[in-house]
Structure 1
Amino acid sequence: MDETKEQRMKRLEFVQVAAFDAVSFAAKVYNYTKDKSGPLKPGIQTVEGTVKTVVGPVYDRYHGVPVEFLKFVDRKVDESMNMVQSHVPAVLKQVSTQAFSTAQKAPVAARSVMTVAEHLAVSTWCSLNRLPLFPQVAKVVVPTASYYTEKYNQSVQLSAENGYKVASYLPLVPTEKIAKAFSVDKTEPVVLTGGAVEAN
Structure 2
Amino acid sequence: MKVRILVLYYSRHGSTLALARQIARGINAVPQCEAIMRTVPELDASPGNPADPYITLDDLKTCDALAMGSPVWFGNMAAPLKHFWDQTSSLWISGDLIDKPGCVFTSSSSLHGGQESTLLSMQLPLLHHGMLLAGIPYSEPELHTTSDGGTPYGASHHSQKTAPLSQNEQLLAQKLGSRLANLAIRLSASAESQIQS
TM-score by length of 2: 0.21
Q: Which has the higher helix share?
A: 1
Q: Which has the larger radius of gyration?
A: 1
RCO comparison, higher one (Cα < 8 Å, 6+): 2
Q: Which has the higher strand share?
A: 2
